[in-house]
Amino acid sequence: MDSITQIVLGAACGEIALGKKIGNKAILFGAIGGTIPDLDVIIGSLYYSNEIDSLAFHRGFMHSILFAVLGAFIFGFISSKAYDYGALRKGSTNMKDWILLFFLSIFTHPILDSFTPYGTQLFLPFSDYRVAFNNIAVADPLYTLPFLVCMIVAMFFNRKNPTRRKWTKAGLYMSSAYLFFTIGNKLYVDSVFKTSFKEANINYQRFSAQPTLLNNALWYAVAETDINYQVTFYSIFDKKNTLPTFISIPKNHTLLNVDHPDIKTLRWFSKDFYALAVSKTSDQIIYKDLRYPLLDQNDSNSSLFSFRLVKQENRWNTKNLSEERFKDQNAQDFVADMFKRAFRDF
């Protein structure tokens, strides 16, 4: 999920592991631990010159279970030696405490990411399968804000005051309860989409559904047929439990060699839910990752996650079109339109 959410969750893990011994410092170290896996964004951009390689690197090994174990020992050892120094701190903590702190804060990061649609390679280096349960958006205020408030309140209590632990647990319980709610929501919405596809006589091979940004009310689905993709939206507040409209998006998979290694990497990343198109302003090919919602619910060309493909010698590289669209898009209008659709029948 987004960085703020991971910082809050990591901070709670730090408090659980070491809060009674070192107070708010445990929250700080937990927040750092919760941030460590996402440093792969920086490392990938520095190490790789090709954007496709960098894209594949994110949520890779640094988001794996093995890295959580190794990282816990490495960062736990370093922090233990650095902190347990001087007359005031000597013996106040032990290495086991620090290993636990970093294991909890690092391990919970990719686990939480796995509930989002992006996909997390939990089992590297043994498997590059991307775990994605698609039940919560990468940023959801209803998960994060109550949790954040609880952690801020907890910081104002003395480390030995039991109320401090109660606020931390309250944040964990509320965020976890909401996460379980989104799982139930996902199961319900999937059933609605299946029924709607059937009633619309759409013979799909497979489909994927996920919540739109910043909420768990408005959902988006893409279904693959033999010749195209059918996409649609549904809100849990819609009065009818079937969908009136679908948008058809042609596959156009013959526009280039989709078996090229770089294109295969993009296909793997998007779980083969992709379409190709020719740019209106040039001869370049646009790669659309259709797992993600349309920015304009009535425009099939407004894919949130799309790339302009650029040929560089024998390799393909990408330019993220979503970044360009968001520069031109009025964010306030975009959010307003999304929530208007989500609550139109409420």
Specify the pLDDT at position 296: 78
C-alpha 40/C-alpha 22 separation (Å) is 29
Arithmetic mean of pLDDT, 130-146 = 97
pTM of this structure: 0.94
pLDDT band at residue 13 using 50, 70 and 90 as cut-offs: very high
Query: Average of pLDDT values for 76-94?
Result: 87
Average pLDDT for the chain: 93
Question: What's residue 345's pLDDT?
Answer: 82
Is the confidence at residue 328, as pLDDT, over 60?
A: no
User: Residue 330 has what pLDDT?
Assistant: 63
Peptide bond connecting 125 to the previous residue in cis, omega within 30 degrees of 0? yes
325, pLDDT greater than 70? no
Amino acid at site 156: F
* Cβ atoms 50, 23 nearer than 8 A: no
Instruction: For 14-23, write each residue's pLDDT tens digit.
Output: 999 999 999 9
- pLDDT single digits (tens) 217-234: 999 999 999 999 999 999
Among candidates 134, 114, 133, 135, which has minimal Cα distance to 124? 114
Which residues face 120 on adjacent strands? Answer: 131
**Cα–Cα distance measured from residue 155 to residue 19, given in angstroms and rounded to the nearest whole number:** 10
Write down the pLDDT at residue 29. Answer: 98
Average pLDDT for residues 58-83, to the nearest whole number? 96
Angle of CA points 340, 342, 343, to nearest 5°: 70
pLDDT cut 90: percent of the chain above it: 81
Mean pLDDT of the region 26-31: 98
How many Å apart are CA 147 and CA 144, to the nearest integer?
Answer: 5
Read off the pLDDT of each residue in 127-135 and give the average, rounded to a whole number. Answer: 97
What pLDDT sits at residue 322? Answer: 65
Residues pairing with 218 in the sheet? 235
137-156 burial, b for 16+ CB within 10 Å, e for fewer?
bbbbebbbebbbebbebbbe
Q: Does position 326 have pLDDT exceeding 90, yes or no?
A: no
Query: Which pLDDT score, from 0 to 100, does residue 285 have?
Result: 95
Q: In the structure encoding, which two tokens stand for residue 321, read together?
A: 């079109």
For the stretch 97-119, pLDDT in tens is: 999 999 999 999 999 999 999 99
Least confident of 4-13, 244-253, 298-307, 318-327: 318-327
Residue 90 has pLDDT above 90, yes or no: no
Output the pLDDT for position 156. Answer: 97
What pLDDT score was predicted for residue 291? 93
In the structure, what pLDDT confidence band is assigned to residue 327 with cuts at 50, 70 and 90? low
The residues spanned by each domain of the chain are 3-123+140-182, 200-342
For 155-177, write each residue's pLDDT tens digit. 999 999 999 999 999 999 999 99
pLDDT above 90 for 80: yes
Question: How high is the pLDDT of residue 210?
Answer: 96
